[in-house]
Amino acid sequence: MRLVVARCQVDYAGRLTAHLPMATRVLMIKADGSVLVHSDGGSYKPLNWMSPPCTLREGTTDEGQVEWTVTSKNDDTLRILIEEVLHESLHELGVDPGLQKDGVEKHLQEMLAEHPATLSPGLTLVRREYPTAIGPVDLMCKDAEGRNVAVEIKRRGEIDGVEQLTRYLELLNRDPLLAPVRGIFAAQEIKPQARVLATDRGIACAVVDYDALRGLDDPSHRLF
């Protein structure tokens, strides 16, 4: 990972336009090719970013200022005009072992893998922890029509979970052997903002009753 702290101006042009005026920010260029622009606030979410695959070209303007131009496969552009570099370093992070889920979330995934139709009628499991270049999808399933469905499972459904599933879907839908792949965001509780974002992106939401799901192993109980 390349980490740069710099005074910079950032302009995005694509499906919409966005402008960040000159200020001190953190620029991250990750090994997977993604470029992220962070401020010192706003928690974990970047101010702007470009997901892989994308290309980064470094050059200078006619006025001699350093300029980075990041271009996506859809020709969206992120133009970063650098006034001053305050810090720059390279870090080899190595292979990440992946997120270790807590007991409830892991058990929830195991139970939904056994009973995928509780998420959507006719849904059947293809594989748990389906591998992708950016991490494993919790469940890869097929619906009643034989189409692929990626399922992301959280104990509490928030915006970052929807963003995570969105990235998986973008990657999976580039594979002609899998596409079209739709998504289901499953959680015991889904925050209103997360539901709005998921709906806007065509992702279905499923609220899971953990206690009722455990009762499926008992013939005297049913989820619905």
Residue range(s) of every CATH 2.70.180.20 domain in the chain: 2-90
**Which fold is adopted by the domain 2-90?**
Protein Yojf; Chain: A; (2.70.180)
Q: By the 8 A CB rule, do 213 and 178 touch?
A: no
Q: How far is CA 216 from CA 19, 119, 161, 207, in A?
A: 52, 13, 26, 16
Lowest mean pLDDT among 48-52, 100-104, 155-159, 177-181: 100-104
Average pLDDT value for residue range 104-120: 87
Does the pLDDT at position 221 exceed 50? Answer: no
pTM of the model: 0.55
* pLDDT of 192: 94
Q: How many CB atoms are located within 10 Å of the residue 27 CB?
A: 21
* pLDDT of 158: 93
Q: How far apart are CA 55 and CA 53, in angstroms?
A: 7
Question: What band does 112 get if pLDDT is binned at 50, 70 and 90?
Answer: very high
Does the pLDDT at position 104 exceed 60? Answer: yes
More confident residue, 203 or 33: 203
Residue range(s) of every CATH 3.40.1350.10 domain in the chain: 103-217
Does the pLDDT at position 199 exceed 80? Answer: yes
Does the pLDDT at position 220 exceed 80? Answer: no
Q: How far apart are CA 57 and CA 43, in angstroms?
A: 28
Which CATH number, 3.40.1350.10, 3.40.1260.10, 3.40.630.30, 3.30.2310.20, labels domain 103-217? 3.40.1350.10
Q: How many CB atoms are located within 10 Å of the residue 139 CB?
A: 24
Q: How far apart are CA 180 and CA 152, in angstroms?
A: 17
Average pLDDT value for residue range 60-67: 93
Q: How many CB atoms are located within 10 Å of the residue 137 CB?
A: 26
* Helices 192-200, 159-172: inter-axial angle, 10-degree rounding: 20
Beta-strand runs (E) in 30-114:
35-38, 48-50, 54-60, 66-72, 77-90
